């Protein structure tokens, strides 16, 4: 076997080990990273946005518990059309479909 071919095989095996699962797994992880950055920027001043911790605002639910109230996978429309709540401290947020998909990927990854 030529050295170049063996090197390519080794690189492919290494890539598969670095990103277990299907190619979609790596894409979902990347989308989740983008979603985490978005909610960190827009939501973290009031909500706990990670897998642990308390929300800075006492009335803001931790994002890791959202699935208790809503099917997280179905929040895309609300994120794109404008997320509104009855709480007076909550501003309106509107995200692009790509941003909404990234946010949902991240939220799904932290649900309890």
pLDDT tens per residue across all 112 residues of the chain: 444 333 334 333 333 333 344 444 444 455 568 999 999 999 999 999 999 999 999 999 999 999 999 899 999 999 999 877 777 888 888 999 999 999 999 999 999 8
Half-sphere exposure of 96 (CA within 13 A, CB side): 6
The second-level CATH assignment, the architecture, of 22-110 is Orthogonal Bundle (1.10)
What DSSP string describes 25-62? HHHHHHHHHHHHHHHHHHHTTTS--SSS---SSTTSPP
- Could you tell me the CA-to-CA distances from 112 to 12, 64, 108 in Å, in that order? 34, 6, 9
Tell me the whole-structure pTM to 2 decimals: 0.70
Provide the β-strand partners of residue 83: 93
Please list the alpha-helical segments (H only) found in 44-110: 76-81, 97-110
CB 20 within 8 A of CB 29: no
Say what the pLDDT of residue 93 is.
Answer: 86
**DSSP symbol at 19:** S
The per-residue pLDDT for 84 is 73
């Amino acid at each position: 076997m030529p050295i170049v071919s063996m090197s390519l095989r080794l690189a492919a095996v290494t890539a598969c080990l670095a990103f277990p699962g299907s190619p979609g797994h790596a894409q979902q992880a990347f989308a989740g990273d983008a979603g985490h950055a978005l909610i960190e920027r827009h939501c973290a001043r009031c909500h706990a946005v990670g897998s642990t911790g308390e929300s800075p605002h006492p009335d803001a639910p931790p994002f890791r518990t959202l699935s208790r109230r809503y099917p997280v996978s179905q929040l895309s429309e609300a994120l794109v059309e404008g997320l509104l709540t009855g709480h007076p401290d909550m501003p309106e947020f509107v995200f692009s479909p790509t941003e909404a998909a990234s946010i949902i990927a991240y939220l799904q990854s932290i649900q309890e």
